[in-house]
Amino acid sequence: MSSRRIWRVGALIAAGLALTGCATTAGGAGVNSVVGTWQSGESSEPHLTFTEDGQFRGNDGCNKMSGRYEQDGDTVTVTYVAATTRGCPGVDDWLRKLETLTVGESTLEVYDASGELLGSLARES
């Protein structure tokens, strides 16, 4: 291969790597990604952490939970949830009923299967 061709290939690889660094996360251009940790201000501290590989884990204030999710724009759909079933008197385990979520810049709204708003979590800073 000529040195000129090697230089062109190198330039194309460098440009591709540079553009990859500018890529947006799960939701696409102009969409807030759910990836990261979201928490409640409640004393029992419900929280969820979403990873780039489509999995999440968290706690509803009493029970540990984990599962899988898919993000389409600002909407996140939970596709699988597993949770422990400890009894915690006096703890509102509203997060356990999550089905879909709406991602904002700093707020994650949590909805149940009927579309009712259950509550919200704030993005961890």
**How many Å apart are CA 14 and CA 32, to the nearest integer?**
27
Q: What is the pLDDT of residue 16?
A: 45
Q: What is the pLDDT of residue 91?
A: 80
Q: What is the pLDDT of residue 111?
A: 96
Considering the chain, what percentage of its residues have pLDDT values greater than 90? 50
Which CATH number is 27-123 given?
Answer: 2.40.128.270
Of the CA atoms within 13 Å of residue 28, those in its CB half-sphere come to: 7
* pTM higher than 0.75: no
| pLDDT averaged per 10 residues, the chain (length 125) | 49 42 45 92 83 95 92 94 85 87 95 95 88
Q: What is the pLDDT of residue 38?
A: 96
How crowded is residue 34: how many other Cβ atoms within 10 Å of its Cβ? 25
Domain ranges, ordered by start, for the chain = 27-123
